[in-house]
Amino acid sequence: MSELKRSEGDPQTQLGRVAHAMTQTLAAHPEKGDVQQAIVLLHDSKTGTAHFWGYEQDTDALEDLITFMRNLGRAHGITIDVNEIGRG
């Protein structure tokens, strides 16, 4: 992975622009229903991106992502143990 950094505003990378377009498509989709938040993870052979849509705080998105990964692991017989999530 390349250097990690958080950005706001217009996406600065190719993967960031693709992820942003995916969430804009979701936002405009007539069948999105109650969906108010999304996390898009993209990775190529050189780098990756995480795009959070509809979250007030990144930490809220990260908590949802960890919960999702823990449940996905359980469904596949894998234990994912996160002992503590600290803020600040």
Name the residue among 53, 81, 84 with its Cα closest to residue 69.
81
Residue 18's contacts (CB-CB under 8 Å, 6 or more residues apart) are: 42
Name the residue among 23, 20, 16 with its Cα closest to residue 38.
23
Distances (CA, A) of 57 to 9, 18, 25, 31, 52: 15, 21, 21, 26, 9
What local confidence, expressed as pLDDT, does residue 81 receive? 85
Mean pLDDT of 68-88: 84
What local confidence, expressed as pLDDT, does residue 9 receive? 76
Q: Is pLDDT above 60 for 14?
A: yes
57: DSSP letter? S
Q: Is pLDDT above 70 for 13?
A: yes
What local confidence, expressed as pLDDT, does residue 3 receive? 62
Return the amino acid letter for 53. Answer: W
What local confidence, expressed as pLDDT, does residue 83 receive? 76
Q: Is the pTM of this model over 0.75?
A: yes
pLDDT in tens, 16-70: 999 999 999 999 999 999 989 999 999 999 999 999 999 999 989 999 999 999 9
